């Protein structure tokens, strides 16, 4: 009997934890949505509907397995991605032509009403819903950021209260009934279709019927027949025609996306159901009028659904810029004290821990340490607020920028360009540092730029400037072939596919068997980074090393670490793309490119905090300080946390984005190289999905 009961119990557990059955339970939040969903379900066995009162209840139901999917806007995607729900976007809507997987948040007013965006205090406002991207997060976040709504943070008052004091009256569905934020609403002020002014069309109708004077909607909301009667309010207080949304908007916002639990089989089933099963039955997912409302389950303006790259999550999908807007409304900046620095690998973490200990002052730590196995994992941690900053090379500045992170400070390698005013290193003549990307070979080897094909190569790491982006960009321009495994006979490119020829020459930690660090993009791979790539050449693992112009001199002629003992710089030479070779000291006339320096990247909302702390840290531990700990020197490795050649950190001017920092020539080179999809990391593919998809 006991065995039978045990067997029955195990059977139940197996049912609960089994892979998903061939069915999808869609969560709906109104009777109209339920009507449409039921009509779809009648056309497709395995598709069913679950009714809940609002988006949050649906998120909870999906987390519990009571439902499987729902389409959400950015604000709700953020909530769904929080740790207590852990839902992931898997499919995005596409709008119009060209193929847009984003839309613009705009402020709309009737023509000739005589006020601008900066004159909204005391006006009546129409919002799509409390916490919604276009109708709340973006406009309210913008008004707070511009100091038009003077809000001191959640400790002083809820942001809803500050908004109530700013606008005369509002309809913000989802707000507390009986408050000014619900005063203009026509129904029950709920975030559902039982409130006529809910959603994009509802907020616009609120404006049409003169309940409100401004509506916060998306750029596709105003019907063509009505465009002549309405205008956009621009942030600079101009007004513009409705179709001028690309130059007059509050923000560009990621499209609505389908979210579900993190389960690849379930995600594939949902995709198949929406993209194949239902369309084969002649179902139009993007038509809602027959069911008594608009934008039911999906936006009526959507033209098709697009699968997101694997491993997308809410943070990567929304991007750091949008996430910073949400956090500005929640005053969710994390700890008030120091910042969390992201260190790559064991050696980097060891130095960071030493930095952290030395940064303690009055029992307060200015620097806390977070570690990751690679720079890209650091970037993810910064986006997720698990870390705050990291110093990276230009290639990773490019990737970070695609993810919405911003460059804050730049490494300066020329001491004469560092001016110390009051002990603080500042921009001198607005001159940014730079370095040269070079190709180094052993003198007399016979290796030239022209006969590189078929040789063995040593690279600093996949996606890095001097070691990959510049040389492989030049090689791609020469061959037109994106399969770089064909060009060199074998290579060491840390961070590449460990099973490919690009990792064949890597050494890991040097252990003969079972080395988990072989070809990893961290200091545990002894051929990683500038010095590692040069070591790869020195030890005979490669015929050419792609490094920066100072690397050979930093590891020879008495400046040598133990592995380079006795090396002479005269035994190495640079090969020139135009032909010939020169001594390593003549890099100014024989190089692959002049490239931007390494920079500190961070989230937009904490940029100033990171700069302030780093300024103080380099006064204590930078060049010229008498501290035992040195910020720009590395024990137990080279170029840990910062380049050892750094003389100071300089502030990058406010508002400088990653493209402006890198320069058009470098951005053009990266754009060209990105024609080869294999050269783009999974992180960058997710972060740049919207622009990549449009240009595809």
Q: Looking at the predicted structure, is the pLDDT value of residue 17 above 50? A: no
Where does the pLDDT of residue 19 fall: very low under 50, low under 70, confident under 90, or very high at 90 and above?
very low
The pair of three-digit structure tokens given for residue 288, joined into one six-digit string: 């809602």
Burial of 646 (0-12, 13-18, 19+ CB in 10 A): buried
Q: Looking at the predicted structure, is the pLDDT value of residue 12 above 50? A: no
Q: Looking at the predicted structure, is the pLDDT value of residue 422 above 60? A: no
Burial of 281 (0-12, 13-18, 19+ CB in 10 A): exposed
CA trace torsion 639, 640, 643, 644 (10° rounding): -70
CA Rg value for the chain:
28
Where does the pLDDT of residue 26 fall: very low under 50, low under 70, confident under 90, or very high at 90 and above?
very high
- Residues 678 and 696: their CA atoms lie apart, in Å, by 15
Q: Where are the beta strands (DSSP E) in 632-678?
A: 648-651
Predicted confidence at residue 241, as pLDDT, reads 97
394-402 vs 375-383: helix axis angle to the nearest 10?
Answer: 30
**Angle at CA 140, nearest 5°, toward 139 and 144?**
120
Predicted confidence at residue 635, as pLDDT, reads 85
- Residues 341 and 337: their CA atoms lie apart, in Å, by 13
**637 against 63, higher pLDDT:** 63
- Residues 384 and 595: their CA atoms lie apart, in Å, by 29
**Angle at CA 401, nearest 5°, toward 399 and 405?**
115
| Nearest of 169, 174, 170 to residue 190 by alpha carbon | 174
- Residues 45 and 43: their CA atoms lie apart, in Å, by 7
What residues pair up with 171 in beta bridges, in sequence order?
Answer: 126
**Angle at CA 240, nearest 5°, toward 239 and 246?**
125
CA distances from 572 to 135, 378, 442, 545, 581 (A): 62, 35, 5, 11, 10
Calculate mean pLDDT across residues 429-452: 85
Calculate mean pLDDT across residues 195-201: 94
Q: What is the mean pLDDT of the chain?
A: 88
On whether the CB atoms of residues 295 and 203 are closer than 8 A, the answer is no
Show the DSSP H helices in 403-435 as ranges.
none
Calculate mean pLDDT across residues 408-414: 93
């Amino acid at each position: 009997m006991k065995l039978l009961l045990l067997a029955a119990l195990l059977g139940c557990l197996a049912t609960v934890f089994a892979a998903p059955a061939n069915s999808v339970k869609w969560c709906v939040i109104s009777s109209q949505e339920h009507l449409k969903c039921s009509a779809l379900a009648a056309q497709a066995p395995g598709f069913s509907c679950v009714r809940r009162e609002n988006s949050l209840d649906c998120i909870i139901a999906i987390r519990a397995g009571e439902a499987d999917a729902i389409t959400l806007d950015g604000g709700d995607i953020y909530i769904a991605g929080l740790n207590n729900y852990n839902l992931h976007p898997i499919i995005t809507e596409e709008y119009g032509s060209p193929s847009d997987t984003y839309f613009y948040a705009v402020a709309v007013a009737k023509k000739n009403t005589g006020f601008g965006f900066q004159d909204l205090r005391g006006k009546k406002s129409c919002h799509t819903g409390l916490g919604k991207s276009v109708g709340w997060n973006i406009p309210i976040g913008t008004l707070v950021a511009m100091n038009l709504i003077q809000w001191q943070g959640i400790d002083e008052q809820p942001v809803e209260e500050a908004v109530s004091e700013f606008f005369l009256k509002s309809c913000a569905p989802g707000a507390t009934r009986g408050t000014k934020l619900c005063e203009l609403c026509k129904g029950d002020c709920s975030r559902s279709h039982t409130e006529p002014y809910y959603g994009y069309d509802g907020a616009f109708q609120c404006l049409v019927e003169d309940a409100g004077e401004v509506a916060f909607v998306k750029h596709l909301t105003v019907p063509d027949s009505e465009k002549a009667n309405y205008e956009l309010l621009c942030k600079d207080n101009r007004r513009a025609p409705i179709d001028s949304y690309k130059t007059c908007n509050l923000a560009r916002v990621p499209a609505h996306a389908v979210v579900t639990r993190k389960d690849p089989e379930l995600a594939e089933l949902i995709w198949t159901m929406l993209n194949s099963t239902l369309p084969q039955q002649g179902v139009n997912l993007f038509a809602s009028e027959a069911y008594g409302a608009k934008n039911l389950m999906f936006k009526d303006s959507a033209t098709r659904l697009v699968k997101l790259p694997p491993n997308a999550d809410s943070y990567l999908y929304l991007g750091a810029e949008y996430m910073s807007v949400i956090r500005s409304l929640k005053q969710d900046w994390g700890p008030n004290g120091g910042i969390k620095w992201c260190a790559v690998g064991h050696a980097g973490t060891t130095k960071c821990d030493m930095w952290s200990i030395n940064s303690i002052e009055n029992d307060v730590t200015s620097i806390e340490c977070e570690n990751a196995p690679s720079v890209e994992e650091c970037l993810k941690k910064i986006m997720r607020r698990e870390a705050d900053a990291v110093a990276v090379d230009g290639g990773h500045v490019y990737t970070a920028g695609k993810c919405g992170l911003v460059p804050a400070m730049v490494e300066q390698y020329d001491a004469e360009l560092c001016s110390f005013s009051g002990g603080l290193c500042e921009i001198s003549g607005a001159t940014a540092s730079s370095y040269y990307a070079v190709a180094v070979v052993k003198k007399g080897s016979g290796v030239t730029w022209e006969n590189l094909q078929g040789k063995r190569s040593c690279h600093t790491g996949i996606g890095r400037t001097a070691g990959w982006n510049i040389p492989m960009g030049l090689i791609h321009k020469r061959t037109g072939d994106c399969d770089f495994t064909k060009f060199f006979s074998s290579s060491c490119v840390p961070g590449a596919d460990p099973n490919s020829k690009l990792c064949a020459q890597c050494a890991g930690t040097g252990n003969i068997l079972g080395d988990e660090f072989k070809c990893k993009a961290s200091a545990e791979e002894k051929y990683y980074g500038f010095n590692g790539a040069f070591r790869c050449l020195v030890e005979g693992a490669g015929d050419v090393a792609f490094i920066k112009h100072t690397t050979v001199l930093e590891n020879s002629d008495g400046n040598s670490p133990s592995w380079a003992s006795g090396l002479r710089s005269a035994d190495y030479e640079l090969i020139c793309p135009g032909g010939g070779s020169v001594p390593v000291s003549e890099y100014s006339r024989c190089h692959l490119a002049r490239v931007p320096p390494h920079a500190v990247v961070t989230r937009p909302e904490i940029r100033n905090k990171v700069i302030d702390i780093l300024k103080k840290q380099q006064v204590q531990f930078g060049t010229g300080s008498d501290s035992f700990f040195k910020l720009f020197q590395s024990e137990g490795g080279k170029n840990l946390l910062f380049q050892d050649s750094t003389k100071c950190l300089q502030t990058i001017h406010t508002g400088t984005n990653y493209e402006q920092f890198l320069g058009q020539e470098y951005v053009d080179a990266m754009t060209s190289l990105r024609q080869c999809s294999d050269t783009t990391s999974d992180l960058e593919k997710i972060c740049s999905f919207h622009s990549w998809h449009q240009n595809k």
